[in-house]
Amino acid sequence: MKRKVVTICGSVRFWNKIQEMSERLELENEYVVIGIIPHILDRDLTECEKDLLGELHRIKIDLSDAIFVVNVDGYIGDSVKNEIEYAKENGKEIIYLENN
């Protein structure tokens, strides 16, 4: 059986839920999950770093069959909205934690 590859998308304010869903998707639903890198440095990211991380996340989406949106309480921030739009434009399936 070929496993579907999904990229996790969501606000890092929901980091614990993102980690939980990554584990569940791989163990229970047999997906291969491409995760996100949490911002753990004790400083603000530069605009160049933000741009780089955005570019890298789009590459992750390109490698995926789908994205999995961790939208706790329906929250979808601007960055994730952009990622959803990018995924749609590139024919990727969009899977939501919570129905919109």
pLDDT one-digit tens code per residue, 78-87: 999 999 999 9
With cut-offs at 50, 70 and 90, classify the pLDDT of residue 98.
very high
CB 21 within 8 A of CB 68: yes
Residues 6+ apart with CB under 8 A from 56: none
**Angle 78-89/47-63 helices, nearest 10 degrees?**
40
- Say what the pTM is: 0.90
The pLDDT value given to residue 41: 66
Residue 60 token pair:
């992750």
State how many domains the chain has.
Answer: 1
pLDDT digits (tens, 9 = 90+) for 27-68: 988 899 999 877 666 788 889 988 998 999 999 999 999 999
Domain of residue 19, CATH code: 3.40.50
The pLDDT of residue 8 is above 90: yes
CA dihedral 7, 58, 94, 78 (to 10 degrees): 110
3-state SS class at 12: helix
Q: Across the strands, what pairs with 33?
A: 6
Q: Which domain holds residue 23?
A: 5-38+45-96
